[in-house]
Copies of this chain bind each other. A is one copy, B any other.
């Protein structure tokens, strides 16, 4: 993490930031967060993230003492003080100290600047593997910190050569643990719209591709797709070339995926550049 963070209502030393352990953010896993990147020092798609974060707080019943304008101000101050280039920014709002240690209360806001860990060039070039898991997240539309299950699953991913999981339940694929998922079949791109987090990168992919079909599909559809890819803030667009022991399509990133990867990088650079020119 970078030297300065926002904690206890002020910009302060990141190492000194602290949470009381009885906050239900810890003892009940009740907190919301969001995470975005800076391109150079430009916070990419910041307005989308601020909107989602404040909506998550509202849906989670957590009072947030800062408006979007105030959050934006703090974020720009942190970027400047940390000289935070090509990094990540994490906002967390905890559930607070609760009288019955359960009911959501009034929590703490933290904002940290972090180094980014993007996938390697090799992963973008060759694609990665997902493991299928029968699961569906509760409250997927709120960006909670509820990752207990996939964190536990991740203890075993590497030994199986996998990058992440794909959730499916009752015949429907929903998402990966921290990414949205897309399949391409006969030139048409599909992505689920139920039981998912509404990813900002997913939204940008939809803008770029123009004609994505929002529809349910099964794990079998995914295994029989021509191309599969996932999208997320920290992965951009990442090709999936294997699911469990099944090769997807030709086992290489396909043309639709590669075009979107390029288009997304262009969009990113244009977005940062457009802001600088203003």
Which residues of A come within 8 Å of B, CB atoms? Answer: 1, 7, 15, 17-31, 33, 60-61, 90, 92, 94-95, 100-104, 108, 110, 112, 114, 117, 135, 138-139, 142, 144-152, 154-155
| Across the A-B interface, the 8 shortest Cβ-Cβ residue pairs | A29-B29, A18-B18, A138-B149, A146-B148, A28-B147, A30-B151, A21-B110, A29-B145
| Chain B residue at smallest Cβ distance from A60 | B152
Distance, CA A165 to CA B125, complexed state (A):
48
**Majority secondary structure of chain A interface residues (helix, strand, loop or mixed):** loop
* A29-B112 CB under 8 A given contacts A17-B21, A61-B155: no
Cα(A147)–Cα(B144), bound, Å: 11
Q: List 23 A-B contacts (CB under 8 A).
A: A7-B21, A17-B20, A17-B22, A18-B19, A21-B110, A21-B112, A22-B90, A26-B26, A26-B92, A26-B94, A28-B147, A28-B151, A29-B29, A29-B31, A30-B151, A30-B152, A101-B114, A102-B147, A102-B154, A103-B155, A104-B155, A145-B148, A146-B149
